[in-house]
Amino acid sequence: MAEITNKYDAIVIGAGMSGGWAAKEFCENGLKTLLLERGRNVKHNVDYPTTNLQPWEFEHGGEVSQEIKEQNPVVSRCYAFREDAEHFFVKDTEHPYVQEKPFDWIRGYQVGGKSIMWARQVQRWSDYDFEGPARDGFAVDWPIRYNDISDWYSYVEKFIGVSGNKDGLDVLPDGEFLKAWDLNCVEEYFQDFVKENYNDRHIIYGRCAHISEMKDIFREQGRTLCQSRNICQRGCPYGGYFNANSVLIPWAEKTGNLTLRPHSVVHSIIFDEKLNKATGVRVIDANTKEILEYYADIIFLNAGTLNSNLVLLNSTSEKFPNGLGNESGTLGKYVAFHNYRARVSATHNGHKEFATEGKRPTSAYIPRFRNVKKQETAFLRGYAAGFGSYRFQRPNSEGIGEELMTNLNKKGEWSDWRVSSHIMGETIPKESNYVSLHPELKDEWGIPQLNISIDYDENDEKMVIDYIEQITEMFEKAGFTNIQSSDSKQAPGLDIHEMGGVRMGNDPSTSMLNKWNQMHACKNVFVTDGACMTSVSTQNPSLTFMALTARAANYAIEQHKKGELI
């Protein structure tokens, strides 16, 4: 009998951060695993074309051309969409979607996904976050608490490398940290001021996925220390920061159990009515448009929040006419995101005897302090905030010709210190914030385009006002001057932290997934990317995605060994 080549123990849809983790866990445990990615392959240290280029080697000085901006009005709003990394971003015209309400959908279709270009901030959730929905009465109760995932946070942190301090905050639990970079003198000044004047507010170093000291596990991964180059979005030849390309994919490949198939656009998950389970995945070859089918006992969906919703919505059958596992009717609904609209900046007139030299991968961070232990404002939940300070040298551009060149080569005068903060606000999952399949428009592969209907509400507006008021007050008390605030009014999506639509919950009538990220209605399908999130908290979400994925994958492996998923 001929060998069946399209049958695996596990199929993982999406080769980004969470999909890479699922593949690693399966392959390490001996499961033959197919990892599907709709985009091209990006190999670590092979496909980073700009990683070592100097500023003068870029044709447009690092900027994208006006023509490219006009052709890509959505993705060109992203801070990292510049000449050094534009090749890692999905262009607007290549993968269209429908904006029922304005939404800036930032995507990276390649092996590694957006883990190549992410901002690398990694904070744990606390019980205040997991208990939020039950306490405040929005969304549904999380089926897990901090203790269910704390060991998996540690498991992930030790493997990826996280720089940070033991801050001892119950609102932001400590983790398995490598040594932190230092705050600069003005950030330390503000940290001390806040500590002396507020009992509930803290300034800490932002925890980030960078190697600041060497461990055996990093040597085994082939990585070395972060060089503080701050051009991480190009891909790092040192492996100094964590991405799926440098860590997870090679780790899975060396087991001999991984089959990586790029250029594979997933059409749907195949459900067998007689067996009452999912049996495989239907794929369209991105280049040839050939329809292919692959089969497995375990299916992990990690296509990215909105694309995971799309795949499930498009996976219809007699039992599930409205999308795979959608007995609750919640699929595609209760999508939420982070509110990044507001910013406050100011001038600091002190510390003029100091300046900064060199770079570091992140700055300071203000953990959430509103509505943490009790409801104290007119809005639900709260916000975290970024904080940073800097000064720069003003070049002397007087004169022309040789005089100009001489002046430009001299060290310029130092500016005053500038301080700046931006909001990271939690939005509330609502049924009215949803994605659906467009009834008529299809993409290049014949798959319905995604219709996105997501926007802000009154709670978000009140939160922005409060953030500006509170940070302005803190800046004023600290002696900062020339304080200015702004509200960008940017559309949802530019935060790149959309979550939900396939939420976890205890009750199958109001949620899609159980406490193991396993579908209530289809036991061998798991969703562990941002789509699974019941609420969004205020922390950067990637660390939680990875911890949930590692936890769910190991549960699936145990169930598979027992024959529960076959």
Residue type, 14: G
In contact, 297 and 524? CB cutoff 8 Å: yes
pLDDT per residue as tens digits for the range 168-214: 999 999 999 999 999 999 999 999 999 999 999 999 999 999 999 99
CATH number of this structure's domain 1-50+113-163+242-336+430-445+497-566:
3.50.50.60
Of the pLDDT bands very low, low, confident and very high (cuts 50, 70, 90), residue 490 is very high
How many Cβ atoms from other residues are within 10 Å of residue 195's Cβ?
12
Report CA-CA distances (Å) from 149 to 104, 513, 545, 547. 31, 16, 11, 7
In contact, 164 and 208? CB cutoff 8 Å: yes
pLDDT per residue as tens digits for the range 214-250: 999 999 999 999 999 999 999 999 999 999 999 999 9
pLDDT per residue as tens digits for the range 76-113: 999 999 999 999 999 999 999 999 999 999 999 999 99
Give which of 494, 495, 518 is closest to 506, Cα–Cα: 518
Res 1 pLDDT > 70:
no
DSSP 115: G
Select the more confidently predicted residue: 409 or 483: 483
Res 514 pLDDT > 90:
yes
The tokens for 107 are 């995507």
pLDDT per residue as tens digits for the range 256-294: 999 999 999 999 999 999 999 999 999 999 999 999 999
Res 5 pLDDT > 80:
no
Q: At what angle do helices 542-561 and 17-28 cross, to 10 degrees?
A: 30
**Confidence (pTM):** 0.96
Of the pLDDT bands very low, low, confident and very high (cuts 50, 70, 90), residue 397 is confident
pLDDT per residue as tens digits for the range 38-77: 999 999 999 999 999 999 999 999 999 999 999 999 999 9
The Cα 26–Cα 10 span in angstroms is 7
Q: Look over the chain and give the mean of its residue pLDDT values, rounded to a whole number.
A: 96
Contact residues for 507 (Cβ-Cβ < 8 A; gap 6+): 140
The Cα 49–Cα 367 span in angstroms is 36
Render the burial of 212-233: b for 16+ CB within 10 Å, e for the rest. beeeeebeebebebbeebebbb
Cα end-to-end span (Å), the chain:
22
In contact, 359 and 199? CB cutoff 8 Å: no
Q: Where are the alpha helices (DSSP H) in 365-457?
A: 401-409
Long-range contacts of 252-256 (CB under 8 A, 24+ apart): 252/20, 252/23, 252/24, 252/26, 252/27, 252/28, 252/33, 252/35, 253/27, 255/27, 255/28, 255/30
pLDDT per residue as tens digits for the range 130-154: 999 998 888 899 999 999 999 999 9
Res 2 pLDDT > 60:
no
How many Cβ atoms from other residues are within 10 Å of residue 260's Cβ?
18
Dihedral, CA of residue 346, residue 493, residue 113 and residue 557, to nearest 10: 110
Res 407 pLDDT > 80:
no
Q: Is 50 helix (H, G, I), strand (E, B) or coil?
A: coil
Of the pLDDT bands very low, low, confident and very high (cuts 50, 70, 90), residue 526 is very high
pLDDT per residue as tens digits for the range 323-374: 999 999 999 999 999 999 999 999 999 999 999 888 999 999 999 999 999 9
How many Cβ atoms from other residues are within 10 Å of residue 413's Cβ?
10
The Cα 284–Cα 294 span in angstroms is 11
The Cα 408–Cα 262 span in angstroms is 48
User: Residue 33: what are its φ and ψ, rounded to 5°?
Assistant: -125, 130
The Cα 511–Cα 460 span in angstroms is 24
Of the pLDDT bands very low, low, confident and very high (cuts 50, 70, 90), residue 4 is low
User: Residue 87: what are its φ and ψ, rounded to 5°?
Assistant: -70, -10
Give which of 303, 277, 300, 244 is closest to 557, Cα–Cα: 300
* CA contacts within 13 A on the Cβ side of 264: 24
The Cα 179–Cα 212 span in angstroms is 6
pLDDT at residue 204, rounded to an integer: 98
Report CA-CA distances (Å) from 360 to 227, 389, 417, 523. 8, 12, 17, 45
In contact, 218 and 211? CB cutoff 8 Å: yes
